[in-house]
Amino acid sequence: MSIQKMKEKIVGAAIIDTEWQEAAAFREANAAWLDVSFRIGLAILRTLRERKMSQKDLAGKMKCSPQYVNKIVKGSENMTLETLCKLEKILDIKLIEVLPAKAAHVA
């Protein structure tokens, strides 16, 4: 078999990798919440380090898996308000702040 034929066979059998394109499109479409989630993850990590707590310790208090806590601290988890409130209560920190109704109202 000639080199040209081998090249054609390899190129014909190759699978186009589009996974990175899908991941990039996801990051672009979800940039706003991913940024907030990343900053929340950093705040949680700082608090855990200050208190000499592990992610496993936090998972036990939250009654969830250590893998879920790892997703949170990596900033890759789109958390519910329930989860955010639970984290705030367990860690005794403020992760999000909502303006009072009067301040949020625009005339």
37-71 core/surface letters (b: 16 or more CB in 10 A; e: else): beebbebbeebbeeeebebeebbeebeeeeeebeb
CATH number at residue 36: 1.10.260.40
Q: How many domains does the chain have?
A: 1
Q: What is the extent of the structural domain holding 98?
A: 27-104
CA 45 to centroid of chain Cα atoms: 13
* 82 located within any domain: yes
State the pTM of this model.
0.73
Per-residue pLDDT of the chain (107 residues; tens, 9 = 90+): 788 888 888 877 777 778 889 999 998 999 999 999 999 999 999 999 999 999 999 999 999 999 999 999 999 999 999 999 999 999 999 999 988 877 656 55
pLDDT of residue 107: 54
Both tokens of 98, joined, read 């909502």
pLDDT of residue 15: 76
* 18 located within any domain: no
